[in-house]
Structure 1
Amino acid sequence: MSHAVIGAGCRAHRWLRVTVQSRATLADVAKLAGVSAKTVSRVYAQRDRVSAETVERVLSAAKRLRFRPNSLARSLRRGGPSKTIGFIMGELLNPFYYGIAAGIERELAAHGSPLIVATTDDSPDGEEHVADALLAQRVGALLMIPVGDDQSYLEGERQLGTPVIAIDRPARNLVADAIVLENRTGTHTATASLIVHGHRDIAYVCNPASVYTQLERVQGYRDALRDAGLPVDGRHEVLLDDMSIPLEDTVRELLCAREAPTAIVAGNNRACVAALRAMRGLRHPPALIGFDDFDTADVLGVSVIAHDPVEMGRAAARLALERMADPAGFTTRVELPTWLIRRGSGERPPER
């Protein structure tokens, strides 16, 4: 494995060499199915005019060849790639996601490449369906924020030359490039700062907890405690994986406990807002540092671990364009920096 530096504060690691196969054409499907190319075209355009037996043969051949009908075929060379890039994001209301989308769109606009955006609403069940819908448009590259446990369903498409770029979280069971944050460094910095200000009972809260970003962030929090010679107390870790559970109520219970923490590290912007709501009315609220900046954090005086989601989107778009120009090569993992912004909430001293 080799590594390289990409831009100030970024680390890139090269992992596996990517190989590319030629993409099956409509003629290839026709040959395997034993029908004419015109019949294959009719199966996808006017299926009711083709016998059920022929339809089954054509679709079976297409599946074996990993052939995808191209909805943009009239404007593209048959079997060739599109300049359009697809982006699969989570819920539309999350400012982190639309910041990434804005960065992608700005970078692609400068290169004359259109962008198609689809959302999974952070539901693993819908990820493959959304990906299939975008790939049916024969996008030139697929950018995605993985939410499922397995992205191996994209391996065949990647082998056919469609670059797949994972954003925020690496893809699982798939050889793909990745643009991620320095998650461990960020929470380690936040926790260490709270320790410097005198805190010894520090909680970590997040929902969901099983995604890559949170697994990395909670580890950074634990590492900082160990580095300071403090115990890692599971009672101070609120790690939820059910978005239907109100995190605000869970944090409130934590703060009402006999051994309540004097400080909190919130694993993402939603957890930070939930913690702020739970702290309302407290005479001596705990210190708080959240991961992810958000629009009113400066007004509320919330200390945060910040990063640049727009730059993350730009970096992903640049990598996608490079891959489209040269699909073969080693996969790349880019880590973008995070930094602590002190606004007051993370600098409060411990009070019982």
Structure 2
Amino acid sequence: MADTARTPERRYGTRPTMKDVAARAGVGLKTVSRVVNGETGVTPDTERRVQEAITALGFRRNDSARILRKGRTASIGLVLEDLADPFYAPLCRAVEEVARAHGALLINGSSAEDPEREQELVLAFCARRVDGLVIVPASDDHRYLEPEIAAGIATVFVDRPAGRIDADVVLSDSFGGARDGVAHLIAHGHRRIGFIGDQPRIHTAKERLRGYRAAMAEAGLDVADAWVSLGPTEPERVRDAVVTMLDAPEPVTALFAGNNRVTVTAVKVLAQRTRKVALVGFDDFELADLLSPAVSVVAQDAVQLGRTAAEMLFRRLDGAAEAPRRVELPTRLIARGSGELRP
């Protein structure tokens, strides 16, 4: 005969309750509640008996009911530019880990850098009663969110600030990182340096261009119009920009790439050239250190961006009532060889 004392007692169509646990352990409901919720005031022997009863019965705490009593759904929404972008994968994972630590489910989606798609996703998450939102914005006008924020949905922006509203935001130092990267090229003898970046309406693209111009100005160097190209980061557009700068009557001797997608395309073009051209890219990327020469980059910490934004969100959900905060994380120049080539 089976030892029923050691076999979980599961009945089809039913779920063990705290009352069942209390009866099996020979304690009161309040004692079971304290053990389940990790509260003090229970002796080690009693706690052991309750835990043994929980294991035997296969009891699971009903988190959904507990959360709904608090008026929360234990879910948050994350809107990114593109889930397939290598930069956003670790950021998403970091947000998910913080959410999990707070007992919340993460729901995410991609805006594809489309303001209308961003708004559609955000409002869809709100309709599903998420507790909060972490947004990498595509839009430059977030007034559509004001009713949702007023209704209690905590919102934190990451990588770029909100447009036309005051809200929490976590950024990387795009200006300082770009300035450092271009200054590194200047220190290695370059005077004609090209900048290829993302679309000019994007905050990070504007800040990195501003950092490029600042480094050039600090070195007393003029910037020719032909040395700057902003636009979509599709390979064809970037390839044309690189080729134009390299084949000009006075070609650039170095390139600063505004993000990892631009850098990867630039590497492919430069690999087909006999003349050595220096390169520094904003954002690290996989295998950058294994290329020849290895690619020098301005690295930002995507994990820390995601973690900081998520922790800020849960502080808001826990009742923090301070004014909107702006947190700017430092970047790091990693010199690997491609930025150290001399003209």
What band does the TM-score fall into relative to the shorter chain? 0.7 to 0.9
Structure 1 position 197 matched with structure 2 position 199: no
- The 1:308/1:242 distance shift into structure 2, 3 A limit, reads closer
Q: In structure 1, what is the Cα distance between the partners aligned to 2:213 and 2:157?
A: 26
- Quote how far apart the aligned CAs of 1:297 are: 0.6
Q: CA RMSD in A?
A: 1.8
Equivalent in 278, 287, 307 of residue 314 of structure 1: 307
- Quote how far apart the aligned CAs of 1:209 are: 2.8
Contact 1:252/1:279 (CA < 8 Å) preserved in 2?
A: no
User: Equivalent residue of 1:265, what SS?
Assistant: strand
User: Equivalent residue of 1:85, what SS?
Assistant: strand
User: Equivalent residue of 2:280, what SS?
Assistant: strand
Equivalent in 156, 176, 181 of residue 185 of structure 1: 176
Equivalent in 144, 150, 153 of residue 159 of structure 1: 150
Match of 1:344 in 2: 337
Match of 2:15 in 1: none
Structure 1 position 253 matched with structure 2 position 244: yes
Deviations 1:222-253 (A, max 9, x none): 00100011112221001114758531122112
Q: In structure 2, what is the Cα distance between the partners aligned to 1:81 and 1:285?
A: 58
- Quote how far apart the aligned CAs of 1:163 are: 1.2
Match of 2:83 in 1: 92
Deviations 1:61-92 (A, max 9, x none): xxxxxxxxxxxx98864892322111001112
Contact 2:227/2:245 (CA < 8 Å) preserved in 1?
A: yes
- The 1:75/1:248 distance shift into structure 2, 3 A limit, reads farther
Bigger Cα displacement from structure 2, 216-225 vs 321-330: 321-330
Match of 2:118 in 1: 127
After TM superposition, the score normalised by the length of structure 1 is: 0.75
Match of 2:137 in 1: 146
- Quote how far apart the aligned CAs of 1:201 are: 0.4
Q: Which runs of 5+ in 1 are unaligned?
A: 1-72
Q: In structure 1, what is the Cα distance between the partners aligned to 2:250 and 2:75?
A: 55
Q: Which has the larger radius of gyration?
A: 2
Match of 2:166 in 1: 175
Match of 1:42 in 2: none
Match of 1:107 in 2: 98
User: Equivalent residue of 1:345, what SS?
Assistant: coil
Q: Which runs of 5+ in 2 are unaligned?
A: 1-63
Match of 1:295 in 2: 286
Q: In structure 2, what is the Cα distance between the partners aligned to 1:326 and 1:289?
A: 43
The residue identity in structure 1 corresponding to 2:250 is E
Q: In structure 1, what is the Cα distance between the partners aligned to 2:225 and 2:90?
A: 33
Q: In structure 2, what is the Cα distance between the partners aligned to 1:231 and 1:117?
A: 44
User: Equivalent residue of 2:78, what SS?
Assistant: strand
Deviations 1:33-56 (A, max 9, x none): xxxxxxxxxxxxxxxxxxxxxxxx
Q: In structure 1, what is the Cα distance between the partners aligned to 2:132 and 2:184?
A: 41
Contact 2:67/2:74 (CA < 8 Å) preserved in 1?
A: no
- Quote how far apart the aligned CAs of 1:125 are: 2.3
The residue identity in structure 2 corresponding to 1:175 is D
Match of 2:37 in 1: none
Q: In structure 2, what is the Cα distance between the partners aligned to 1:164 and 1:265?
A: 33
Report how many aligned residue pairs link the two structures: 278
The residue identity in structure 1 corresponding to 2:113 is D
- Quote how far apart the aligned CAs of 1:99 are: 1.5
The residue identity in structure 2 corresponding to 1:81 is R
Q: In structure 1, what is the Cα distance between the partners aligned to 2:75 and 2:171?
A: 23
After TM superposition, the score normalised by the length of structure 2 is: 0.77
Contact 1:163/1:327 (CA < 8 Å) preserved in 2?
A: no
Contact 1:166/1:179 (CA < 8 Å) preserved in 2?
A: yes
**Identity among equivalent pairs (%):** 38
